[in-house]
């Protein structure tokens, strides 16, 4: 599904490409992976291959400004494409989150003694970065391949290409209320949600608390997420959690939906966002605490209903945790890419595996 009229769903490069998972500010990892793949530091490849970046370029790593600058330069010179991820969307919304203090003049992470080695961004750099991010599509497609940050969802793309096409991403996220039926269901849950938050809201950010499952909070959060096309394609679908878990600095009452198990189209799709792991031991040490959506699947395994969906996010976003305990290379977290049409998985350590 491609459309010249849809600014949010654009044409994917023709020819051989290398599709890179979430970078999360790890400039050295990106440059290492590019070298392994045969690119120089400007993104040029002797055989004319080009890079496709799957979003979440920034946050947590030591040099988010450097990653954004490199991506922008390669895109402007026609050597790369990128899609918008939820972390870029947070910057456009100017919402402070764990690991994105580098972007703000008042660095909330540094104030807490976190990510103190992360390079900050100047005011001038910030304006240029926002202009760059605002122009990114949320998905790319051609006849033999689709790429998106979180979820391939045709109804969301249709809405983004129709009445919302002229809206910037942050406005869609903020102002599109979703279908009337969803709004009515959210209204029905509002009073119960208020009661739960009144009782437990002050404790949601305390890892040491033991909280019950807040059903109204979970159900309304899942509905809120599902009702907005920008939220769906950049951060996924959610459902009420089986039990609460602590991740990303807060207690969560929703689980992520394995949307790929309902993906029925013939065209393969590559995506990021969901924290896959090369090493199951590393997951136990460095994960955010969320349920493992890929349990039982080999790192190089196609997944989904038709076994034609593949997550390329191999958790380099947790490399900062390795640094915190004094670990150095070889890293257990990885930055990976899928070579297409070769269907080969390659990581920043130089390991190569065929997709199976």
Mean pLDDT over 139-160 rounds to 98
Strand order in the sheet with 50-53: 80-82, 50-53, 17-20, 336-340, 344-347, 352-354
Please tell me the pTM assigned to this model.
0.94
70-79, 125-134, 285-294, 311-320: the lowest-pLDDT one:
285-294
Of residues 2 and 126, which shows the higher confidence score? 126
Contact between 14 and 142 under an 8 Å Cβ cutoff? The reply is yes
> pLDDT by residue (tens digit) across 116-137?
999 999 998 999 999 999 999 9
> pLDDT by residue (tens digit) across 86-95?
999 999 999 9
pLDDT for 4: 53
Q: How far apart are CA 307 and CA 311, in angstroms?
A: 12
Mean pLDDT of the chain: 95
Mean pLDDT over 103-124 rounds to 95
Q: ∠146-151-157 over CA atoms, to 5°?
A: 75
> pLDDT by residue (tens digit) across 235-249?
999 999 999 999 878
Q: How far apart are CA 343 and CA 301, in angstroms?
A: 11
Residues shown for the chain: 356
Predicted confidence band at 228 (pLDDT cuts at 50, 70, 90)? very high
Q: With pLDDT > 90 as the criterion, what percentage of the chain qualifies? A: 91
b vs e for 137-171, b when ≥16 Cβ sit within 10 Å of the residue's Cβ? bbbbbbeebbbbbbbbbeebbbbbbeebeebebbe
Contact between 259 and 151 under an 8 Å Cβ cutoff? The reply is yes
Task: Tokens for 3, please give them.
Answer: 């459309």
pLDDT for 289: 74
Mean pLDDT over 170-176 rounds to 96
* Displacement of CA 151 from its chain's centroid (Å): 10
Predicted confidence band at 1 (pLDDT cuts at 50, 70, 90)? very low
Q: Of 113, 112, 138, whose CA–CA distance to 56 is shortest?
A: 138
Contact between 85 and 150 under an 8 Å Cβ cutoff? The reply is yes
Q: Tell me the backbone φ, ψ of residue 11, rounded to 5 degrees.
A: -75, 130
> pLDDT by residue (tens digit) across 32-42?
999 999 999 99
Contact between 12 and 267 under an 8 Å Cβ cutoff? The reply is no
Q: How far apart are CA 57 and CA 86, in angstroms?
A: 10
Predicted confidence band at 165 (pLDDT cuts at 50, 70, 90)? very high
* DSSP-derived secondary structure letter, 278: S
Q: Tell me the backbone φ, ψ of residue 95, rounded to 5 degrees.
A: -105, 115
| Superfamily (CATH H level) for 9-176+257-354 | Metallo-dependent phosphatases (3.60.21.10)
Mean pLDDT over 183-205 rounds to 97
pLDDT for 73: 98
């Amino acid at each position: 599904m491609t459309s010249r009229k849809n600014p949010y769903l654009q044409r994917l490069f023709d020819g051989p490409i290398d599709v890179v998972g979430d970078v999360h500010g790890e400039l050295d990892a990106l440059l290492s992976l590019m070298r392994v793949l045969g690119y120089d530091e400007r993104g040029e490849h002797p055989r004319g291959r080009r890079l496709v970046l799957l979003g979440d370029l920034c946050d947590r790593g030591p040099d988010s400004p450097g990653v954004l600058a490199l991506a922008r330069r390669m895109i402007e010179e026609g050597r790369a494409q990128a899609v918008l991820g939820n972390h870029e969307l947070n910057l456009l919304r100017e919402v402070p989150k764990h690991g994105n203090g580098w972007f703000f003049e008042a660095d909330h992470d540094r104030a807490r003694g976190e990510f103190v080695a992360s390079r900050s961004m100047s005011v001038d750099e910030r304006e240029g970065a926002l202009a760059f991010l605002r122009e990114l599509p949320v998905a790319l497609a051609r006849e033999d391949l689709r790429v998106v940050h979180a979820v391939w969802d045709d109804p969301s793309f249709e809405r983004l290409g129709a009445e919302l096409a002229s809206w910037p991403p942050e406005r869609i996220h903020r102002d599109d209320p979703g279908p009337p039926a969803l709004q009515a269901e959210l209204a029905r849950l509002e009073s119960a949600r208020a009661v739960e938050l009144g009782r437990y809201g002050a404790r949601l950010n305390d890892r040491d608390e033991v909280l019950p499952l807040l059903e109204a909070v979970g159900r309304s959060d899942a509905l809120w997420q599902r009702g907005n096309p920008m939220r769906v394609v950049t951060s996924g679908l959610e459902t009420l959690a089986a039990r609460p878990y602590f991740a990303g600095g807060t207690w969560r009452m929703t689980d992520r939906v394995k949307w790929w198990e309902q993906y029925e189209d013939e065209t393969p799709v590559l995506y990021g966002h969901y924290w896959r792991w090369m090493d199951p031991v590393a997951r136990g040490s460095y994960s955010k605490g969320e349920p493992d959506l890929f349990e039982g699947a080999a790192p190089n395994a196609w997944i989904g209903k038709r076994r034609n969906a593949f997550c390329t996010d191999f958790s380099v976003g947790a490399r900062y945790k390795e640094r915190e305990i004094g670990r150095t290379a070889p890293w257990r977290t990885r930055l990976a890419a899928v070579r297409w049409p070769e269907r080969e998985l390659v990581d920043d350590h130089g390991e190569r595996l065929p997709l199976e």
